[in-house]
């Protein structure tokens, strides 16, 4: 069940009720997309509200940011109390009983250990996602899930001829020593699937109110010291690191760790990145370029999060989603979708970077807007460089892969007001049409 866009708890529950009618006995109802900060009146979800509808059917609903999960009692019972892990949050009521909401490491621990999904269900979901991606003009992705099981599913699809994407795959940071023992380093694989980087989290998110802030609030998932140790071990194994950092404290800690370990990774040519970099103290903006650390951002987050940011970061939003400031500082800016947190829609992302709005409201912090050329570079050239693949893709040049998209108009030549009208006509991967081959109307 999809819960994106729900404006109240009751609206979310209505969608759950409808979806439950299609669930076979003994199976789970899975869903995602809720964000309680968007609900009016402002209430938090509880297991009791799901129990009223689901009874003995286990229900697990991931939040929009994937950092919280809302569970029914039947789902919670599968864990038999196995909820508390380092870096995790178990929300409790006034009696000390779990409310059904788990955050951060507790959320991911439950997802990985107890939610029952078959291999065939995973593969079918990935097959659907690939077709959607191709229809949106996507030819390559950086898979940031950091799940050790993902490569085997991508490989299965590739063997079937169904992998019509190039995948730069992340791996869980805690497996760095195992990877080193195997002698597998970044770049291992083929033209459709390569092992790329290790994924680690410094903090939580804005939506779950777990971002690590300079005022001491939020959840610290990985300390600066532990992250620095990981960077060193990853560098020895031949892997760069992508570190999720949302709050200003988390971003500062990540930059401090990269600076402390610079002599370990820079001589090896590893292309390090901070994922999201959503809130930065002014004195930290220029440090990305100084250290040679890329910012892997999502332009769509700015208009999507503006209301939450204005409410929760009221005095700090000048440093939030500061894409133009980062660009002007000389930082490498790579834009992605963060799907499924935002829609897998590069054109919407480019519009968000240029217009700083995706609805009829005025631009949010318009001084942080980018030009169309900058937004396109951040969405094509820079991600290819970050994957170490700039000689083969990212540009339309002789000798590079014929990975391209056909649009119905030139986004550089048209007026910015026309950007919402730009449409995908067709998509090509390696010289083969993977979406809507010609002839075209």
Tell me how far the alpha carbon of residue 390 is from its chain's centroid. Answer: 22
Residues 164 and 109 in one domain: no
Residue 40 counted as domain residue = yes
- Upper half-sphere CA count for residue 387 (Cβ side, 13 Å): 33
Overall number of domains in the chain? 2
Full DSSP string of 263-322: HHHGGGT---EEEE--B--GGGTTHHHHHT-EEEE-TTHHHHHHHHHHHHSTTTGGGBS-
User: Based on the domain organization, do 234 and 334 belong to the same domain?
Assistant: yes
The pLDDT score that the predictor gives to residue 336 is 97
CA distance 171 to 285: 28
Answer yes or no: do 101 and 160 share one domain: no
Domain assignment present for residue 268? The answer is yes
What CATH number is attached to the domain comprising 98? 3.10.310.70
Cα–Cα dist 253/228, whole Å? 9
Per-residue pLDDT, 164: 98
251 part of a folded domain:
yes
* Domain contains 30: yes
Cα–Cα distance between 318 and 391 in angstroms, integer?
37
Query: Do 223 and 308 reside in the same domain of the chain?
Result: yes
- Residues of the chain with pLDDT > 90, as a percent, come to 92
Please state, in angstroms and rounded to a whole number, the distance separating the CA atoms of residues 352 and 369: 8
Residues of the domain holding 108: 9-114
Please report whether residue 288 resides in a domain.
yes
Residue 413 CA to residue 409 CA, distance in Å, equals 8
Place of tokens 């508390």: 84
User: What's the pLDDT score for residue 147?
Assistant: 78
Question: Do 191 and 250 belong together in one domain?
Answer: yes
142 and 60 share one domain: no
Same-domain status, 109 and 236:
no
Whether 402 is covered by a domain: the verdict is no
Q: Give the residue among 94, 89, 118 at the shortest CA–CA distance from 104.
A: 89
Answer yes or no: is 441 within a domain: no
Residue labelled with tokens 């030009």: 371
Q: Are residues 329 and 273 in the same domain?
A: yes
Asked whether residue 107 falls in the same domain as residue 143, the answer is no
Same domain, 303 and 225: yes
**Nearby residues of 102 by Cβ (< 8 Å), 6 or more positions away:** 68, 69, 71, 83, 88, 89, 90, 91, 110
* Per-residue confidence (pLDDT) for residue 243, from 0 to 100: 98
pLDDT digits (tens, 9 = 90+) for 310-356: 999 998 999 999 999 999 999 999 999 999 889 999 999 999 999 99
Give the CATH number for residue 270.
3.20.20.140
Identify the band that residue 149 occupies on the pLDDT scale cut at 50, 70 and 90. Answer: confident
- Check whether residue 243 and residue 285 sit in a common domain: yes
The reply to whether 319 falls in a domain is: yes
* Strand, coil or helix: 168: strand
Residue 229 structure tokens: 């140790």
């Amino acid at each position: 069940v999809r819960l994106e866009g729900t404006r109240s708890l009751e609206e979310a529950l209505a969608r759950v009720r409808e979806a439950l009618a299609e669930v076979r006995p003994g199976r789970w109802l899975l869903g995602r997309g809720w964000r309680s900060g968007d609900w009016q009146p402002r209430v938090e979800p509880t297991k009791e509200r799901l129990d009223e509808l689901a009874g003995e059917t286990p229900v697990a609903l991931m939040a929009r940011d994937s950092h919280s999960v809302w569970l029914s009692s039947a789902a919670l019972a599968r864990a038999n109390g196995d909820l508390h892990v380092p870096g995790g949050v178990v929300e409790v009521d006034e009696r000390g009983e779990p409310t059904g909401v788990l955050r951060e490491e507790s959320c991911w621990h439950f997802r990985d250990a107890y939610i029952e999904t078959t291999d065939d269900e995973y593969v079918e979901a990935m097959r659907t996602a690939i077709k959607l991606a191709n229809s949106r003009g996507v030819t390559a992705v950086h898979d940031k899930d950091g799940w050790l099981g993902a490569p085997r599913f991508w490989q299965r699809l590739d063997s079937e001829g169904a992998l019509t994407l190039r995948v730069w795959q992340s791996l869980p940071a805690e497996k760095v020593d195992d990877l080193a023992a195997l002698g597998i380093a970044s770049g291992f694989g083929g033209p459709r699937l390569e092992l790329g980087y290790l994924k680690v989290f410094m903090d939580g998110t804005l939506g779950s109110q777990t971002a690590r802030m300079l005022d001491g609030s939020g959840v610290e998932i990985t300390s600066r010291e532990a992250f620095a140790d990981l960077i060193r071990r990853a560098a020895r194994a031949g892997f760069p690191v992508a570190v999720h950092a949302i709050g200003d404290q988390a971003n500062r800690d990540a930059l401090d760790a990269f600076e402390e370990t610079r002599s370990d990774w820079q001589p090896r040519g590893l292309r390090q990145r901070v994922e999201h970099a959503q809130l930065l103290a002014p004195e930290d903006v220029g440090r990305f370029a100084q250290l040679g650390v890329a910012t892997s951002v999502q332009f769509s987050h700015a208009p999507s999060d503006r209301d939450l940011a204005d409410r929760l970061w009221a005095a700090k939003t000048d440093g939030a989603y500061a894409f133009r400031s980062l660009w002007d500082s000389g930082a490498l800016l790579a834009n992605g979708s963060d799907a499924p947190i935002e829609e897998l829609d590069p054109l919407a992302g480019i519009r968000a970077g240029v217009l700083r709005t995706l609805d009829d409201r005025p631009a949010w912090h318009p001084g942080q807007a980018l030009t169309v050329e900058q937004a396109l570079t951040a969405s094509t050239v820079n991600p290819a460089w970050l994957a170490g693949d700039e000689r083969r893709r990212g540009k339309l040049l002789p000798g590079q892969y014929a990975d391209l998209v056909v649009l119905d108009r030139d986004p550089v030549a048209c007026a910015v007001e026309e950007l919402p009208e730009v449409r995908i006509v067709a998509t090509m991967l390696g010289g083969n049409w993977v979406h809507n081959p010609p002839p075209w109307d």
